[in-house]
Structure 1
Amino acid sequence: MQEPKLVLDPARIRAEFPAFRQPGLQDQAFFENAGGSYTCAPVLNRMKHFYWSTKVQPYGAYGTSREAGDAMDLAYRRIAQALNLPVDWVHFGPSTSANTYVLGRAFEGWLKPGDAIIVTNQDHEANSGAWRKLAAIGVDVREWKVDRTTGRLSLTALDPLIDAKVRMVAMPHCSNIVGEINPVEEVVRRARSVGAITVVDGVSYAPHGLPDVLALGCDIYLFSAYKTYGPHQGIMAVRPGLAMELPNQGHFFNEGKLRYRLNPAGPDHAQVAASAGIADYLETVAEIAGPGISGITPFHRAHSAMRQQEQALLAPLLDYLKGRNSIRLIGPDDPAIRAPTVSLATDQPGVVLAQKLAEHGIMAGGGHFYAYRLLEAVGIDPQHGVLRLSFTHYTHPDEVQRLITALDAVLQ
């Protein structure tokens, strides 16, 4: 089999992750990155510094408190840079599921009975259930359905759902099961044509390169820091005008403060500060990639390098799966149009296959992964589930070959 052509040196990339130096992980190949990636050293270093040196209430009058607040402010600026956004777009919360739930409550006061919204059955339930609950107040919830064979969301199926009553379209940038990268920019254009906003769940896309949110054009973009090499936080980008227009979800006296309006509980100070390390790491990726990778900023170059690396890593696995007629691959078999999140349906339950792979030192996942509606739509019993194999740019080519060998053993 031909060696993949890599643009990132695996040794240099993996040196940024302490997990690869832990004795208990030495003989393990990590293919459950869609559930959470390893944490990069810049994030861990910032977290340690905050807890050791500035673990006080931030934004106070004394020096240590001001330093803590400055560290948090830096994280807002750095994440905004990485997403190509003004800083007032950025919000932190305890998780993407929690952030979406709060948004759902905010939209409950923003929408009126008779307004329509569009959701998909391709989503993780966090970006579907919160919006579907708005039917209880008289909102017309329309479902953009996937193709039952491919799991794909087609624009042809979306167009009949859009009319002047639609106020919002919620969709995934990439499904955590199907893996195909959805045409966000085209959906944004269609939504804007009727005055609707777009809410994009980027949890399954962002680990493969933080997007240029301004270029996407959406009004809200959500992702999880712990899947983008950072701490267990949810990050969302919200167009500031919309954030101020939505009903306040925080304390009444904070109504005029953008950072507080959509976060009723308050974020974890140390984890917010540590999130600046995500941007630090992405700049390192751009540096490792070298001058051959195009892009206006280091973050654009990191995105391009990560995607190229992952496509090269993914191709051998997809080629192998094409020769296994007993396996149903959910989503496309072209690495150029999907993320390296590969879900397989076989006669064995997904969790059983994951357990068998664990005996070969392969860390993978089995189940429905909160995409219950999607599995039902493509004819798979969610309780039977799928085997999910998910990796990122730090996966080593040898690990992909090791996975293929293990699959040969457990699928016999």
Structure 2
Amino acid sequence: MSSTPTTFDVRADFPILSQTVHGTPLVYLDSGATSQKPQVVLDAEVDFLTRANSAVHRGAHTLAGEATELFEDARATVSGFLGARPEQLVWTSGATFALNLVAYAIGNATAGRGPSRFALAPGDEIVVTETEHHANLIPWQELAARTGAVLRSIPVRDDGTLDTDAAASLIGERTRVVAFTHVSNVLGIVNPVAELVALARTAGALTVLDACQSAPHLPFDFDALGVDLAAFSGHKMLGPYGVGGLLGRSDVLDDLPPFLTGGSMVTTVTLDEAHFLAAPQKFEAGTQPVSQAIGLAAAARYLEGLGMDAVHDRERTLERRMMAGLREIEGVRILGDASGVERVGIASFDVEGVHAHDVGQFLDDRGVAVRVGHHCAKPLHARFGLTASVRASTSVFTTDDEIDVFLDALAGVRPFFGVGA
């Protein structure tokens, strides 16, 4: 990490940030839910739609050829940005789809529609963590219910870190899948990927990583991480809605059976049977997210131009400023206030005596946009004795001054509601 804090003068690149809310300049601290888009991303989609719009991998006309080339160039750009090869990237509508794809593909293998290496038997175990977003929890609950597998979870300690001792005891000879988030979308803590991968490998288990909160904020190298599969979402990394992806080791993608079937993913079809293309196309049935993929490639190039080491450095500076300020405000309890751990710019907290939704409305009236609720992580909130929290999350366009505006506004919440006076 550099000794001089990195700063980015990029706010002018994001048109939406120039507006005011309730007569106050917008302070957008909700990138953990969805990031704002730089103009280059908007332009990339519009340019495709106005110049080369056509269905890909179909037709022999000029527009079809150009659209296909742009679409596959986008695959190469995004996969390269994430440390993978083009054939290792399956386009999906987002991370939720990608994770469901894996769970249902394993279910198809269990039903005899794929290699037995992925089949589950009653009593086999799927291990997740207590920090998971519902998108990396509910698909595994459903798979366990369909197959008779047992779902187990690695607990978190009071400071929000994973209990790695418990992980070592939970991951064993019956473990077939270990699915875990790279960065908690509630706590902002970077989980020990290498340690969990090592445990899973010893057990011979498949590893599935939720990379939604890491791909936009950390240098991300799929190959170096050593996981078998990783899901990410485009709209959280400065890209469009409706696109994301599943990264996979080639041998895993080759052997996993498809989830959705239909056009685009077949080689031959008769009235009795069909044969499928190789990965990744065998997982891309139907109409592909063409303009969205092209927009996401523009987002990847934008982030690459900033440098992901510099992005992480900058967001760590913002995170430290935000956490230090939160600790000084009376009545604020930070979830996962661990010290000495790697984090991204996400902080979730409870304001004593004031409901999270009221806190969010108070901040919005002052131009500050944050997330309120359970952040699609109800079990983790239950672990901390809460039903909801307030979450502030940063991005490359966040400034020091905006963090201060947020903290100053937050300090006024309890006095405004007459709590703790």
Check 1:5–1:411 CA distance in 2 against 1; reply closer, same or farther (3 A cut). farther
Q: Distance in 2 between matches of 1:350 and 1:265?
A: 41
Over residues 184-209 of structure 1, what are the superposed CA-to-partner deviations in whole Å (9 max), with x where a residue is unaligned?
A: 11111111112112101011222213
Q: Quote the Cα distance in structure 2 between the aligned partners of 1:71 and 1:8.
A: 32
**TM-score normalised to structure 2 length:** 0.87
The alignment's C-alpha RMSD in Å is 1.9
User: How far did residue 267 of structure 1 move?
Assistant: 2.6
Query: Is it true that 1:16 corresponds to 2:13 in the alignment?
Result: yes
Are the counterparts in 2 of residues 225 and 234 from structure 1 also a CA contact under 8 Å?
A: yes
- Asked if residue 216 in structure 1 is aligned to residue 225 in structure 2, the reply is yes
* C-alpha distance in structure 2 between counterparts of 1:335 and 1:318, whole Å: 13
The one of 165, 172, 184 aligned to 1:175:
184
Alignment partner of 1:284 out of 298, 305, 313? 305
- Return 263-272 or 112-121, whichever deviates more: 263-272
2:319 matched residue in structure 1: 314
Name the counterpart of 1:402.
405
CA contact (8 A) 1:177 1:388 kept: yes
Partner of 1:295: none
Alignment-derived partner of residue 66 in structure 1: 65
Task: Tell whether 2:337 aligns with 1:332.
Answer: yes
Give the aligned partner of residue 115 of structure 2: none
- Give the SS at the match of 1:388: strand
Pair 1:326–1:26, CA change in 2 (3 A): closer
Q: What is the aligned partner in structure 2 of residue 140 from structure 1?
A: 150
Structure 1 counterpart of 2:227, one-letter code: C
Unaligned segments of structure 2, at least 5 residues: 110-118, 268-275, 416-421
Asked which structure has the greater CA Rg, the reply is: 2
Structure 1 residue aligned with 2:234 = 225
Q: Deviation of residue 115 (structure 1)? A: 2.3
Q: In the alignment, does 2:120 pair up with 1:112?
A: yes
Aligned counterpart in structure 1 of residue 348 of structure 2, from 343, 348, 358? 343
Could you tell me which runs of 5 or more consecutive residues in structure 1 were left unpaired when the two chains were aligned.
Answer: 286-301
> Aligned letter for 1:388?
R
Q: Does 2:196 correspond to 1:194?
A: no
Q: Which residue of 1 aligns with 2:290?
A: 269
Is residue 119–residue 170 contact of structure 1 (8 Å, CA) maintained in 2?
Answer: yes
Deviation at 1:210, TM superposition (A): 4.8
Q: Distance in 2 between matches of 1:278 and 1:86?
A: 18
Matched with 2:84 is 85
Aligned to 1:372: 378
Are 1:359 and 2:365 matched, yes or no? yes
2:25 match: 27
Task: Please name the residue that 2:52 is paired with.
Answer: 54
Report 1:214-253 matches (<5 A): 214-232=223-241, 233-249=243-259, 250-251=261-262, 253=266
Higher share in helix = 1
Kindly tell me the number of residue pairs found equivalent between the two proteins.
Answer: 387
Helix, strand or coil at the partner of 2:412:
helix
Say if 1:229 and 1:52 are closer, same or farther in 2 by CA, change over 3 A.
Answer: same
In structure 2, distance between residues paired with 1:333 and 1:325: 18
- For the residue of structure 2 that corresponds to 1:331, the secondary structure is coil
Task: Give, in whole Å, the separation in 2 of the partners of 1:279 and 1:135.
Answer: 35
- Matches of 1:135 and 1:398, distance apart in 2: 48
Structure 1 contact 209–303 (Cα < 8 Å) conserved: yes
Query: Secondary structure of 1:306's partner?
Result: helix
- Residue by residue, what CA displacement relative to the aligned partner does 1:76-101 show, whole Å, maximum 9, x if unpaired? 00011101211111111112112212
1:260-283: CA deviation from partner (whole Å, max 9, x where unpaired): 333344432111122210222023
Q: Does the Cα contact within 8 Å between 1:121 and 1:128 map onto a contact in 2?
A: no
Moved more, 236-245 or 265-274: 265-274
Match of 1:298 in 2: none
Shift of 1:325: 4.5
Residues in 2 aligned to 1:306 and 1:353: alpha-carbon distance in whole angstroms? 29
What is the DSSP-based 3-state SS (H/G/I as helix, E as strand, rest coil) of the residue aligned with 1:174?
coil
Matched residues in 2 for 1:387 and 1:23: separation? Answer: 22
Higher mean displacement: 323-332 or 216-225: 323-332
Instruction: Give the whole-Å Cα distance in 1 for the aligned partners of 2:370 and 2:49.
Output: 32
8 Å contact from structure 1 (residues 352, 366) kept in 2: no
d(CA) in 2 for partners of 1:357, 1:335: 29
AA in 2 matched with 1:54: A
Normalised to the residue count of structure 1, the TM-score between the two structures is 0.89
Aligned position for 1:291: none
The alpha-carbon deviation at position 361 of structure 1 amounts to: 0.9
For residues 286 and 385 of structure 2, the distance between their equivalents in structure 1, rounded to whole angstroms, comes to 39
Matched residues in 2 for 1:52 and 1:18: separation?
21
Provide the secondary structure at the position in 1 that maps to 2:391.
Answer: strand
* Alpha-carbon distance between aligned partners in 1 of 2:138 and 2:407, rounded to the nearest angstrom: 36
- Name the SS for the 1:283 alignment partner: helix
SS of 1:411 mapped into structure 2: helix
Q: Secondary structure at the match of 1:230?
A: coil
* Greater CA drift, 170-179 or 100-109: 100-109
